[in-house]
Amino acid sequence: MITEKIFESALGIASPWYIAGLQFDEARKKLHVRIDFEVGSRFAVPGVAGQHPVHDTVSKTYRHLNFFQHQCFFDVRVPRVKLPDGSVRQVEPPFEGKLSGLTMLFEAFVLLMCRETTFSGASRLTGLSYDRVKALCDKYVDEAVSLQDYSKVRDVAIDDTSRARGQNYVTIFADAAMRKVLFVADGREAQTVDAFVKNLCAHHGKPSQIENVSIDMSGAYISGVEEYLPEAKISFDKFHVIAHASEAVDETRRQEQKVDPDLKGMRWVLLKDRTDLTPQERTELDKLTRQMTSSRTARAWHYREQLREILTRLQPNVVRGLLHRWCRNVLSSKVEPMRTVARMIREHFDGVMAWVYSRQTNGFLEAVNGLFQAAKRKARGFRSFRTIRTVIFLIAGKLDFSTVNPCVRAFV
């Protein structure tokens, strides 16, 4: 009896429920805890007022957290109660989880484990099947997302990430101020913005409340924001502008290395930040960039560094003047890939300047992208968009799962 009382306290079993016995199978490394209810107990049923008498019982088994290194199961005599209208309803024990045959505490453990490892990894560690682990995470993410309130969202960041090889992408919408994912859409077309707006409205938000949207210079995103978030100011952050300039540097190097073999192997030396280079790499970079008159690659690198320096300035009027001058200088050069960047900046000049004022960046979404891609590689890819959505929300949704499973608080 003392042992049962200790287990009742440790497992949170409270009246009218009690532990009726314990059975430990040493050979199979399993502990079974028999749980019953007190004679004469009456039980409430969600949606029906009052306490109701027991009609009969059914036997159910729930997987619980391990007892040391041994699997632990609750063998429960679950009552079915008779309601005033004559119908019979099965009672939900307070420890019952959302998936059949699991306790809430066990589900909380699996859910938080999946934030740190793959579904396959959680499956191996817990003994659940891959499909059960994924179904558990899908269900909790869906319920936690459904409770989100987006009425205070003002600044939105939009970016895409690849879901598979080729041109398969998903679009991530995030709250730039809170740095958390709000919505994930399949594809990267203008219609993804429409889907986000509908989701925003379903979570107590309004399109008119969105003041700023930071995106890359994708025509689809630009047209989507202009059509579905017409009151929002579009900005193109420094990260994406410099990324286009870096692509131009690399394209120039690829063109020029056909006649200059010394440029082979210089890709990462040119693309990395100088502070991240080794002493030998810095020496190689300095040697190349001194060849301004003979190397278009060197000129492209200098143009990118000038652009980077301009966008670090804090005074909008200074940035505006320097950017206009930079575009004129580049367009008068013969570095065609960088000329393309200058034309792009001129075409989207107001959006670049909007970033100078707001400083709203998509940098944190690039970090989310990196974490998702790492998870995708570790899992050897994901089979469906639903799985991708679930993984992204687990990584960066900042969801409060304790609202749908109070047992989560036991682990945080």
Rounded average pLDDT per 10-residue block, the chain, 412 residues: 68 86 88 92 91 94 89 94 93 92 94 92 92 95 96 94 80 94 94 96 96 89 94 89 94 90 87 89 89 89 95 93 96 95 94 88 85 86 90 94 90 76
Question: Structural domain tally of the chain?
Answer: 3
Write out the residue range of the structural domain in which residue 264 sits. Answer: 238-358
Question: In terms of domains, do 82 and 15 share one?
Answer: yes
Question: In terms of domains, do 230 and 166 share one?
Answer: yes
- Distance (Å, rounded) from C-alpha 26 to C-alpha 24? 6
Residue with tokens 């453990």: 109
- Distance (Å, rounded) from C-alpha 81 to C-alpha 233? 58
Greatest alpha-carbon span in the chain = 95
- Residue after which a domain boundary falls, among 74, 96, 118: 96
Question: In terms of domains, do 181 and 69 share one?
Answer: no
Question: In terms of domains, do 231 and 370 share one?
Answer: yes
Question: In terms of domains, do 230 and 284 share one?
Answer: no
Q: What is the pLDDT of residue 2?
A: 55
Residue 65 lies in a domain: yes
* Euclidean distance between the first and the last CA atom of the chain, given in angstroms as a whole number: 32
Residue 28 lies in a domain: yes
Question: In terms of domains, do 251 and 351 share one?
Answer: yes
Radius of gyration of the chain measured on its C-alpha atoms: 29
Residue 394 lies in a domain: no
The residue type found at 409 is R
Query: What is the side-by-side order of every strand in the sheet holding 180-186?
Result: 180-186, 168-175, 155-164, 212-214, 233-235
Question: In terms of domains, do 231 and 366 share one?
Answer: yes
- Distance (Å, rounded) from C-alpha 135 to C-alpha 128? 11
Q: What is the pLDDT of residue 87?
A: 93
CATH of the domain at 224: 3.30.420.10
Check residue 147 and report its DSSP letter.
T
Judged by DSSP in three states, 107 sits in helix
Q: What is the pLDDT of residue 318?
A: 95
Residue 390 lies in a domain: no
Question: In terms of domains, do 367 and 225 share one?
Answer: yes
Please report which helix (H) or strand (E) contains residue 405, including its range: none
Question: In terms of domains, do 256 and 344 share one?
Answer: yes
Question: In terms of domains, do 242 and 353 share one?
Answer: yes
Question: In terms of domains, do 196 and 307 share one?
Answer: no
- Distance (Å, rounded) from C-alpha 213 to C-alpha 154? 9
